[in-house]
Amino acid sequence: MHMENQSTYRKLDYFDLGFIGYDKAWDLQKETLQKRVDNRVNDILFLLEHPHTYTLGKTADRNNLISSEEYLKNNDISVFDIDRGGDITYHGPGQIVGYPIIHLGNWKKDTHLYLRNLEEVIIRTCWEYGLKCGRREGFTGAWFGDRKIAAIGIKVSRWVTMHGFAFNINTDLSLFNGIIPCGISDKEVTSLKRELGEKVAINEVKEKLLKNFISVFEYDESEKKSDHPIIVQELETK
């Protein structure tokens, strides 16, 4: 793969994975991260939706999973203990999940700035819908006052990122009732649908997210690679 001058000329490959199980996407992330570390692929952004899932980060308090086994079974919710930072969150239909697998060494070796930039991508996307979204001091994510519309949790290994953000679009917010989201008990969760008062086209939001991601992270070039679930071997440019 032609990767010279990567430090000055940066390309993003984008994959729309559609609807994909959490375990399959997690495996894909781990394999892709190693390929990025080995310089076998460009920076990559996966956008997708998951089935009903609760994930607990490395420092999560399991007491924040307040669902009974019956609740999990009745709502067909899977639970995963994973290797990102942060506490517990929900993924499900109507929520866009973004997994950037990017090399911070070719951008800026600053994980805090990376987190702020992920927030900026969400904030700018909300602005495009006329919504005054912003940050909240002391917390990650994107907020409308006390209402959180996007959660962020990452892992960085050898300056390559994985995991990312969960942005509520047409999400069934009642499924957050089975957890204390991000371990924050005194704040609400919200969605674009709730803030706008109407359902929003998922693919339209994905296009805006992609555009804002490219802008915020200052890519020179981008390419949309696939609209369908893929296997990791297809990531490598021949």
Q: What is the pLDDT of residues 158-202, one digit of tens each?
A: 999 999 999 999 999 998 888 776 766 667 999 999 999 999 999
User: Does residue 1 fall inside a structural domain?
Assistant: no
User: Does residue 236 fall inside a structural domain?
Assistant: no
CB 103 within 8 A of CB 36: yes
pLDDT at residue 30 in the model? 95
Q: Containing domain of residue 16, as a range?
A: 11-220
CA distance 144 to 220: 32
Cβ contacts of 131-135, under 8 Å, gap ≥ 24: 131/192, 131/195, 131/196
Question: What is the model's pTM?
Answer: 0.90
pLDDT at residue 229 in the model? 44
Low-confidence ranges of the chain (pLDDT < 50): 1-6, 228-229, 231-232, 238
**Which one of 12, 118, 182, 192 is the catalytic residue?**
182
User: Does residue 128 fall inside a structural domain?
Assistant: yes
Annotated active-site residue 133? The verdict is no
User: Does residue 238 fall inside a structural domain?
Assistant: no
Query: At CA 19, angle to CA 91 and CA 118, rounded to 5?
Result: 55
User: Does residue 176 fall inside a structural domain?
Assistant: yes
User: Does residue 159 fall inside a structural domain?
Assistant: yes
Number of domains in the chain: 1
pLDDT at residue 4 in the model? 41
User: Does residue 191 fall inside a structural domain?
Assistant: yes
User: Does residue 227 fall inside a structural domain?
Assistant: no
Provide the CATH number for the domain around residue 53: 3.30.930.10
